[in-house]
């Protein structure tokens, strides 16, 4: 059982996933700080000093319904989702460029017969377009 677990844990996909989770958590902290310390204060200034975490609190008996914190969490989620979308979009573009470069490099070389046939084809095409 230990051997199976060791094989599972050392597979590339599991290690990649673990790294992604750690980086994602760190990225989430950065974006949360961006939202909490930069974006939401600016939104508060634009809305006349409204602090969502301290506003929109309804007290029912001894219970408090804190819609402001919920609204803050929704805005935080949307910004994090957009930031991750942009990061993945840029990453996909970079990966696409690398794949295109790899495809260009691996173009097969033509042997002599194929080169002659390609030249004949090109000559026939040029003759047909002249008419």
pTM of the predicted model over 0.85 = no
Name the percent of the chain lying above pLDDT 70: 91
Domain range holding 58?
2-130
Give the residue-averaged pLDDT of 88-101. Answer: 84
Q: Determine which helix (DSSP H) or strand (DSSP E) holds 69, and give its type and residue range.
A: helix 67-105
Are 40 and 72 a contacting pair, CB within 8 Å? Answer: yes
CA distance 72 to 36: 9
- What are the pLDDT digits (tens) for 5-34? 777 767 767 777 788 888 888 887 887 788
Are 29 and 64 a contacting pair, CB within 8 Å? Answer: no
What's the number of domains the chain is made of? 1
**Closest-CA residue to 23 (of 35, 12, 15, 34):** 15
Between 71 and 80, the higher pLDDT residue: 71
CA distance 37 to 21: 24
Q: Which pLDDT does position 105 carry in this prediction?
A: 62
What CATH number did the domain enclosing 56 receive? 1.10.1200.120
Residue 120 main-chain phi, psi, to 5 deg: -60, -45
Residue 83's pLDDT band (boundaries 50, 70, 90)?
confident
């Amino acid at each position: 059982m230990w051997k199976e677990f060791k094989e599972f844990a050392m597979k590339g996909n599991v290690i990649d996933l673990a790294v992604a989770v750690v980086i994602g958590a760190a990225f989430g902290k950065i974006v949360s700080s961006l939202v909490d310390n930069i974006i939401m204060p600016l939104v508060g200034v634009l809305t006349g000093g409204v602090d969502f975490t301290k506003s929109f609190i309804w007290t029912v008996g001894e219970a408090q319904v804190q819609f402001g914190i919920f609204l803050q969490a929704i805005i935080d989620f949307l910004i994090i989702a957009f930031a991750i979308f942009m990061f993945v979009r840029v990453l996909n573009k970079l990966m696409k460029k690398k794949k295109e470069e790899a495809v260009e490099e691996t173009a097969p070389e033509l042997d002599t017969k194929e080169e002659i046939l390609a030249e004949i084809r090109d000559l026939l095409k040029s003759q047909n377009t002249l008419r």
